[in-house]
Amino acid sequence: MAQATAVVLDSDQHRRDDIRIRLSRCGVLPICFKDEWTCLENIHHIRPAFAVLQPDSREAAIRFVNIAKAIRSTFPVIVLSNQREIENFVHSHWLVNLFFLHYPADERDFQGTIRRLAGSKPKPGRPVLIAVDPESQRRMACLPLLASSREPLWIQGEAGVGKRLLAASVYNCMPSGASEPEYMPARNISTRWIRDKRRRVDRPRAAKQPVQVCVIENIEALPVGLQAQLLPILEAPAVGSGAGGGGPAVRFISLAEPDVVRLIRQGRFRQDLYHRLSVLKLSVPPLRHRREDVPALADFFAAQTSIRHRGAIVRLPDAVRRDLKHYPWPGNVAELKGAIARILARDVIDWAAAVPGRGAGPVGGSRQRRPGAGIDLGEDLRRFLKNNPDLSLKKAKRGFGMQVESRIMQAALVCTRGNCKKAAGLLNISYKSMLNKVKDYQLV
């Protein structure tokens, strides 16, 4: 039998040697690295059994784990640390095959973790969830609780925020006994489909019969006539009540846009159906409200895309990651994923030109500009007013002015390759003023 191989990442030579000796005692062949990206490249190329990581910070732990999951979603990682915030991240419920050990670890605990890792078998195909923003992490931590219930679940958010991915994640957290989810766009629902669900609900369910999970996409598009037909199924005792022998035969997960309340007021969506489908509710904010997630998502998509198309992991420059973080992303995560694919399709020296909001205009736009060569004020102004509909003229003038100033500062830094002194000269302002603006707008 071939000997198991593990990669070890630690910047300290003495700790690397200690971990190497411990792994050798467990019959594992260790390959040690002090550089993060070299280690990640080797995870892709040599396909080790697992990784042992001793990060310097929580941010370093999150980045390494997310990119490792982009390489292989179920790849096991052992994290050694004494930092509580790193321990809390590793013990999250939304990432699988993560193991935590306080370092220096007791030899018995170390060997026990290696044995647990060898015996772990996570579900294949489980989606990878990226959560860095504290609110995003709290939301992900609720998924096992939502999955343990049989009540209908309502997942609400703008297009592109990842509602379908969250539905799949809830299913993956469900106890055994649930069938593969059936994804049904609301516009494709028919009277025949509703009758089939009604027959399944009315039929007494044996204890071992799998629960059918129905994910209705864009539920707000369901015609009012079919809404009336769906409601009796949800009011049947077997749905969510535990009646009918083995409990509910069908569990409904509804995916909805945020404007359902407006549709209810207009009489285009039944209020009683909404309340019955939203016994449990998960609201997903747009990406512009969780900017801390943007660089992590960008790293994940960049690794995933570059492995698929280039056969190697590509690292996004810090300036590109920073620009991506400050763009409002009206198309949310779906737009970000497409933008990363377009960025990686360009020559490396021209990446900045493909970053939305810097010089290429909105994602998918036809015009291409050099980095910092100009600012599309008309498009920016339309986007600003759309995202801030309740502003007065005075507040809009001030808010948009600050946004334009930030973009100008950003363009000057691009033209001078991040040299604040040269950028100050380019804009004819003092060096101190330039530093203050850079700090105010978080451009470095």
Query: What value does the mean pLDDT of the chain take?
Result: 84
pLDDT in the model for residue 372: 37
Say how far apart CA 56 and CA 60 lie, in whole Å: 7
d(CA 401, CA 381): 10
Q: How far apart (Å, rounded) are the C-alpha atoms in residues 154 and 278?
A: 5
Note the pLDDT tens digit of each residue in 169-212: 999 888 877 888 999 999 999 999 999 998 888 876 555 678 89
The conformation of residue 359, written as its DSSP 8-state character, comes to: T
Which pair of structure tokens corresponds to residue 184? 């049904």
Lowest-pLDDT range of 213-217, 248-252, 387-391: 387-391
Give the rounded distance of the alpha carbon of 64 from its chain centre.
Answer: 15
DSSP state of 206: P
Q: Is the pLDDT of residue 259 over 80?
A: yes
**CB of 226 within 8 A of CB of 191?**
yes
Residue-wise pLDDT tens digits, 75-88? 999 999 999 999 98
State the average pLDDT over residues 248-269: 91
User: How wide is the angle at C-alpha 285 spanned by C-alphas 281 and 286, nearest 5°?
Assistant: 140
Lowest-confidence region among 159-173, 191-205, 314-328, 401-415:
401-415
Residue 393, SS3 per DSSP: helix
Predicted TM-score (pTM) of this structure? 0.75
Q: Is the pLDDT of residue 103 over 80?
A: yes
d(Cα 17, Cα 11) in Å, to the nearest integer?
A: 11
Of 141-145, 306-310, 321-325, 377-381, the poorest mean pLDDT is in 377-381
**Residue 95 and residue 69: Cα distance in Å, rounded?**
9
pLDDT in tens, 225-247: 999 999 999 887 654 444 444 55
Q: What is the mean pLDDT of residues 122-135?
A: 83
Q: pLDDT grade, residue 386 (50/70/90)?
A: low
| pLDDT tens track for 1-37 | 467 999 999 999 999 999 999 999 999 999 999 999 9
**What is the side-by-side order of every strand in the sheet holding 182-185?**
182-185, 212-217, 250-256, 153-157, 280-284
The mean per-residue pLDDT over the stretch 118-129 comes to 79
